[in-house]
A = this chain, B = another copy of it.
Amino acid sequence: MPELFTVLTPQEAWSKLEPHLSVIERVEVIPSGEALGRVLAEDTAAPVDLPHFPRSAMDGYAVRAEDTHGASESQPAYLKVVGEVLMGKPAAVTLSPGEAALIHTGGMLANQSDAVVMVENTREVDVSAIEVVRPVARGENVIQVGEDMASGEALLSRGSLLRPQDIGALLALGITQVLVFQRVKVALIPTGDELVPPEDTPGLGQIRNTNAYALAGLALQAGAIPLRLDIVRDSYQALREAIMRAMALADMVVVSAGSSVSTRDMTASAIRSLGQPGVLVHGVSIRPGKPTILGVVAGKPVFGLPGNPASAMITFDLFVTPSIYRLGGCHQLPTRRQIKAKLTRNVPSAPGREDYVPVKIEERKGELYAEPVFGKSNLMFALVKADGVARIPIDRGGLAAGETVTIRMF
């Protein structure tokens, strides 16, 4: 009855799975304004120069720079104000030598002008004349055509996860539609004779299915579409069929594999029976999360996660989340929100095992501290009280109070 598997380190486990993860390649065109959090499926470049006209970077006067040479407080340059450049209009004013035009930040440079004098460096003589008290060089306070982006210049590449500023930049260049990868679909299969839906009242020996909901939350946070499937009983045939159905619906399958050895072995057998390469990893040297199964069938990842809710969440975060980004075309795994803090107390561990300990983050005098939160069997409630989980490295037999740990925020 003991489980027969080779336990790998988290890194070894990931490196077994990683070569099998390929981008889904299903794409769609959507409005750029609605593309927050989506992943670009094309390289983008500026289709036009930005700005497409010389703009003033300041409030002041458009001038011919040579007219201001040598200007100073005691010997100001005297310029005739021949007009104003209106915002949003082509410059209607043309300067002759000795002339200036009132201009606002963002306004188009007057014709024949080549610089802008800040208003702070001028004195008004009367409504149609100013004195300039500091010289400007050609191009000073002017944003030239194409200076922000030249036509053809690369903007965002395929694989970029779009943020607010990226959307602003795309729209600034008139790229109002973008080709993005479709969201990855993740099927979640809860298994166990003891499970009832959350809305039911569990009898003796029964518990509510919660893993599928917590893992759906993690999938959403990773930009995927979670599909919560029906509870599957502890029957090899039922589980095998459920995985097959899930594979037809989704890009990857996550089995929340029950808590006993026999149900976990059943998951591994079912994955093996469905095709090549089958089970790649059965057992990872982490706590909680040791009985994690990583597999691939017909090109789709299939995960068997432990039934314990906290183990399921931590192993999802370690293996499923990065797989979602890979399948979703994201060229760079976004650094999951990780912070560093000092442990407030000793945390024992065993060398050869990577431990994840729920911690609460506290700031004292500008420094971050991680206070371990202890829970007994159902670490879900420890995770509720915690801000994240601290990683106790695999090569250490625990960490001492005061040592710095890396924390994955949840």
Residues of chain A having any CB pair with chain B under 8 Å: 1-2, 32-33, 36, 50-53, 55, 57, 59, 85-91, 104-108, 119-120, 143, 147-149, 155-156, 163-169, 171-172, 174, 176, 192-195, 198-199, 201-211, 213-218, 220-221, 234, 258-262, 307, 309-310, 313, 335, 337, 339-340, 361, 375-378, 380-381, 383-384, 410
Contacts and interface: CB of A to CB of B under 8 A. Distances in A.
Contacts of A90: 203-205
Copies in the complex: 2
Contacts of A216: 33, 164
B214 A377 contact: no
Given A90-B203, A217-B164, A376-B147, A1 B169 contact: no
Contacts of A337: 337
Contacts of A107: 194, 205, 260
A100 B155 CA distance: 69
A122 to B, nearest CB: 10
Contacts of A149: 381
A336 to B, nearest CB: 10
B383 A194 contact: no
A307 B218 CA distance: 36
A252 to B, nearest CB: 18
A213 B119 contact: no
Contact of A88 (B36, B87, B205, B307): B205
User: Does more than half of chain A's interface fall in helix, strand or loop, or is it mixed?
Assistant: loop
A170 B221 CA distance: 19
A262 B104 CA distance: 9
21 contacts: A50-B378, A51-B207, A57-B377, A86-B205, A87-B192, A89-B205, A105-B261, A106-B260, A108-B205, A147-B377, A163-B410, A164-B410, A165-B309, A165-B313, A165-B380, A168-B217, A169-B383, A171-B210, A172-B210, A174-B198, A176-B199
A123 B70 CA distance: 100
Given A59-B260, A106-B260, A381-B148, A221 B164 contact: yes
Contact of A1 (B87, B89, B119, B198): B119
B309 A168 contact: yes
Contacts of A260: 59, 87, 104-107
A149 B328 CA distance: 38
A2 B122 CA distance: 11
A194 B87 contact: yes
Contact of A119 (B2, B206, B221, B380): B2
A72 B327 CA distance: 52
B215 A156 contact: no
A233 to B, nearest CB: 8
A370 B258 CA distance: 44
B384 A204 contact: no
Contacts of A32: 198, 213
